[in-house]
Amino acid sequence: MKILLVDDHAVVRLGCGGLLRALLPEVEIAEAASGEEALQQVQASIPNLVIMDIGLPGISGLEATRRLRQRLPQLRVLFFSMHDELPLVRQALDAGGAGYVTKGAAPEVLVEAVRRVLAGYSYIEQALATRLACQRSDDPAGDPRLAGMTPREMEVFIMLAHGVPVRQIAERLCISGKTVSNHMTLLKNKLGVDSLAGLVHLALETGVLRLAGDLGQMRA
């Protein structure tokens, strides 16, 4: 049985891969550092499961998953991300993800998620599943203001809302600062706001940013 671990941080691949090798010795672990590399590896050797980060340089984890699932509808993908914003979780599931676990989860949660998804089930970290259920009971369709956003726009929106500087966003996504600024302008136009403060306010209204949450997490 083979798992492809896709994350652009070597320390995450090392730690996650080591955990899975120790607790699931029957599993072979392969690694990829980008969405493009993941597409190439899956084409060369189809894994039983892909553990996918969202915030990858170049092709995002969401877009990579869409492309993989178009080619291989039976492929199982478990998202493993630092993000816990519900709009992004929904996009991950809509892209074809069979599960979602945050990087702040306990190691046993990730291992259980891997086992469940490999067995053909879906798995969403309990805290996220509860929040999704509560929000859907209030508004089954989600906030329509975010419905037309692309995965890349959502990533930029989340980082801007958390106060990440343009330079750091550019470095994280391997794009130019000018491209980030263009994304910001397009986001303001699409979302009907005229300032960065307006984007932050909208992020609070829609649940993308929570005052009780870890506001410093994205700056790290």
Distance of alpha carbon 53 from alpha carbon 81, whole angstroms: 5
116-126 pLDDT, tens digit per residue, is 999 999 999 98
173-183 pLDDT, tens digit per residue, is 878 889 999 98
Q: What token pair was written down for 109?
A: 């949660």
Q: Which CATH superfamily is domain 2-138 in?
A: Response regulator (3.40.50.2300)
Q: Kindly indicate the confidence band of residue 212, based on its pLDDT and cuts at 50, 70 and 90.
A: very low
Phi-psi region of 192 (alpha: psi -120 to 50; beta: other; left: phi over 0): left
DSSP state of 84: -
pLDDT for residue 214 is more than 50: no
Q: Kindly indicate the confidence band of residue 135, based on its pLDDT and cuts at 50, 70 and 90.
A: low
Distance of alpha carbon 174 from alpha carbon 100, whole angstroms: 24
pLDDT for residue 143 is more than 80: no
Among 13-27, 50-64, 93-107, 162-176, the least confident range? 162-176
Q: What token pair was written down for 178?
A: 């000018």
Domain 144-219 bears CATH identifier 3.40.50.720: no
pLDDT of residue 170: 87
Domain limits of the chain?
A: 2-138, 144-219
